[in-house]
Amino acid sequence: MDKKNIRELLVRLAAGETTVDEAMEELREAPFRDLGFAKIDSHRSLRQGIAEVIYGAGKRPEQIAEIAAAMLSGGQKTVLITRMGKEAARAVERAVPMTYYEMARVGIAGAMPEPDGRGTIVVATGGTSDMPVAEEAAITAEALGNRVTRLYDVGVAGLHRLLAHMDEIMGASAIVAIAGMEGALASVIGGLADCPVVAVPTSVGYGASFGGLSALLSMLNSCASGVSVVNIDNGFGAGYLASMINHIGVK
């Protein structure tokens, strides 16, 4: 139950459209819903402003479907499901209304919300191979109510490709910079932009990149101010953080 649901409940109570006992019953069930194999945190939106997200990896399709259905029936308009394979998505789609984004391995059950953030989030990648992580970040941000601009394949090996998008970079309220190899893109963008930069190292690269560790360490040691780093391949975490930045000051 989010703030809007609670407000609607209180309005119905004040108008005499529900009883105190009925309102108490709805609130009693609100903190979490126990499905046996999962406990849905129904108050997360009220506490944090963003509803609970389903992490799909390791869950059976029927578990994902049941959790998503319970969230939707509890009043959640948009249910974000991350790290979900194609076969699991097909099974879930038979149980709940869902749009599946294969490259990102993300499912959106329910409706995608209208953007309500302050500005635009830019998601930029060093190369085309970074796009799966970038799409996870971009769709996460969109599912949390943000306008997103994608700048793909603008890495430092051809710096002119990035500089051709200075209007988008300077107009962003937050930028997600995604790169493997040596991870230099985050520092370059951090030296150009006047907004927070969320850096995402990816596991893209040759042997000595150590599965993204090289990019991670480069980003952590960035000489540009205002660059923060999330874990390797963590597009979801970057999109979530960028959304929080983009909603600062938004009621």
The whole-number pLDDT of residue 227 equals 97
162 plus 102 within the same structural domain = no
Q: What is the DSSP string of 106-143?
A: EEEEEPPPPP-SSSEEEEEESSGGGHHHHHHHHHHHHH
pTM: 0.85
Average pLDDT of the residues in 44-51: 76
Tokens at 36, concatenated = 């046996």
99 plus 125 within the same structural domain = no
242 plus 124 within the same structural domain = yes
- Characterise 212 by phi-psi region: left (phi > 0), alpha (psi -120 to 50), beta (else): left
- For 47, the domain range is 31-110
Q: Three-state SS for 178?
A: strand
101 plus 125 within the same structural domain = no
> Can you give the three-state secondary structure of 15-45, one letter per residue?
CCCCCHHHHHHHHHCCCEEECCCCEEECCHH
Cα–Cα nearest to 85, from 63, 96, 71, 101: 101
147 assigned to some structural domain: yes
100 plus 217 within the same structural domain = no
Residue where a domain terminates, one of 51, 84, 110:
110
80 plus 127 within the same structural domain = no
Task: Report the domain count for the chain.
Answer: 2
Tens digits of residue pLDDT in 123-166: 999 999 999 999 999 999 999 999 999 999 999 999 999 999 99
22 assigned to some structural domain: no
Cα(140)–Cα(213) distance, rounded to whole angstroms? 24
Residue where a domain terminates, one of 76, 110, 144:
110
4 assigned to some structural domain: no
Mean pLDDT of the chain: 91
CATH code of the domain containing 210: 3.40.50.1970
Residue where a domain terminates, one of 110, 139, 166:
110
High-pLDDT (> 90) share of the chain, %: 73
